[in-house]
Structure 1
Amino acid sequence: MITKIVELAQRAPSWVNSQPWQVYCAMGDTLQEIKNAYRDQDIAGNQGDSDLPVMSREDWAPQTQDNMKQWRHGIVHHFANFDEAHEKMTNASNTLYDSPVILYITIPKASPDWSIFDAGLFAENIMLAATAYGLGTIPTYNSVRFPAILHQTLNVPDDERFIVGISLGYSANTTINSYNSERRPVNEILHFD
């Protein structure tokens, strides 16, 4: 099934057909090794050092900050209280969402920034194909925040950079999996001139 999902995703367009992506599938003992190493980093208080730069959420544009606040507000009201919501979300994040499979997407370090866009298209195709097979997905920064661990555990060459990890699995019937964030009205994002 995973092979077929990735094969379908390969139809994603890319700049001059560069197809810059590679996929590394972590599951079983390998994925558990990654989860254990991440947990050790968390216990040590390390925040991560992802291959793509991150910035403080306070520095994001005002509209994106409003969207994040709406998301957090919605999650809190989806649970009994803030503490429960925070505990559930933190636990999910810290365990890499209890994923049985994570597909790690990389591109060569010797790539233009447009290859990041190409990798995003490819990742979306993976998620759509997985959904068609009845799987749940979640793309996360958290899964790629310790690239040194991933390079070593997955035997990824040093000349590749990690773009995203996509968790795959059958969604459990839990409160955390039933939340869907709102979207802005289309007339706020679509502009005709």
Structure 2
Amino acid sequence: MTAAIPQNPPFLRPVVADPASVEAAIESRQSIRAYLPTPVPRPLLERLLALASRAPSGTNTQPWKVYVLQGASRDALVQKVCAAHDAVRADPALAEQYRESYDYYPKQWISPYIERRRENGLSLYTLLGIGKGDKDRMHAQWQRNYRFFDAPVGLFVTIDKAMGGGSLLDTGMFLQNLTLAARAHGLDACAQAAWNGYASIVLPHVGAGDNEMLVCGLALGYADPSDPINTFRTPRLPVAAFTTWLE
């Protein structure tokens, strides 16, 4: 039997009027990898970004900077990065030209994280019917990242290189707010570290300054309900697996 969650004492800030909707936005958030071409109105995008900006940040530095790509600017960048991705496949030595600004993933994987990573990749590719040795389809599926999974809106988030590592944490909370606000308005999103290696193409394209570092990209739009890939939902550990209670 689940214990009842106590209500706030009257002298504290009131409970959100509809907490079930807040929880629904959190629980229904997932990384969507296929979108409809339906455009997202600019006023709605501005509202989502305003909500996201309520994220906490150390001493209120608000270190994030956002670039929103739609239409021709989006399509031109997709063409550039897909061409670079194809070129790297043809000549792996070219990969040295495309280095991430920071280590999103560890240089040396350890347990249990490597097992979770492998399970995630295997589950996704099994759903898509892509075998381990099918390099052509694996390449094509990875390149879906650089097409924003057909989402009509692509965003890039940067921070100033002068900022410390805590600004990455702050920006992560901004991104989480953005994805949850999107869900509240019937949209979906997918945060994408895959773009980071191509920062040397992305940053000049969006007009970012030399002082800026790419944190990640993000696809945003209306999910395609007919695409099987959107049935892919990753598991989560139970609270007991990652929590220590001290009294």
TM beyond 0.5: yes
CA gap of 1:36–1:54, structure 2 versus 1, over 3 A, is: same
Letter of the aligned partner of 2:114 in structure 1?
A: Q
CA contact (8 A) 2:85 2:143 kept: no
SS of corresponding position for 1:44: helix
Tell me which structure has the larger Cα radius of gyration.
2
RMSD: 2.1
The verdict on how the C-alpha distance between 1:161 and 1:74 changes in structure 2, with shifts beyond 3 A counting, is same
For structure 2, which runs of at least 5 residues remain unmatched after alignment?
A: 1-43, 89-93
Cα separation, 1, equivalents of 2:233 and 2:73: 31
Matched, 1:20 2:72: no
Residue 56 of structure 1 deviates from its aligned partner by 6.1
Matched, 1:103 2:155: yes
Secondary structure at the counterpart of residue 95 of structure 1: helix
Q: Work out the CA distance in 1 between the residues paired with 2:203 and 2:122.
A: 36
Q: 1:127 aligns with which of 179, 188, 193?
A: 179
Q: CA deviation at 1:39?
A: 1.2
Whether contact under 8 Å (2:67, 2:206) holds in the other structure is: yes
Q: Provide, for residues 144-186 of structure 1, a one-character-per-residue CA deviation record: whole Å limited to 9, x for no partner.
A: 3211212211111111111011110111120111110111222
Q: Equivalences for 1:129-144 in 2 at 5 Å?
A: 129-144=181-196
Contact 1:76 1:85 (C-alpha < 8 Å) held by counterparts: no
The one of 53, 73, 89 equivalent to 2:122 is 73
Structure 1 residue ranges without an equivalent (≥5): none
Change in CA separation of 1:85 and 1:33 when aligned onto 2, cut-off 3 Å: closer
Q: TM-score, normalised by structure 1?
A: 0.90
Query: Residue deviations 1:12-51, cap 9 Å, x none?
Result: 0000011011111011111111111101111211443222
Question: Normalization by structure 2: what TM-score?
Answer: 0.71
Contact 2:48–2:181 (CA<8 Å) still a contact in 1? yes
Per the TM alignment, residue 133 of structure 1 is displaced from its structure 2 partner at its CA by 1.2
2:243 alignment partner AA: L
Tell me the residue number matched to 2:83.
Answer: 40
8 Å CA contact 1:88, 1:176 repeated in 2: no
User: Quick one: which amino acid aligns to residue 98 of structure 1?
Assistant: D
The one-letter amino acid of 2:74's match is: L
Structure 1 residue aligned with 2:241: 188
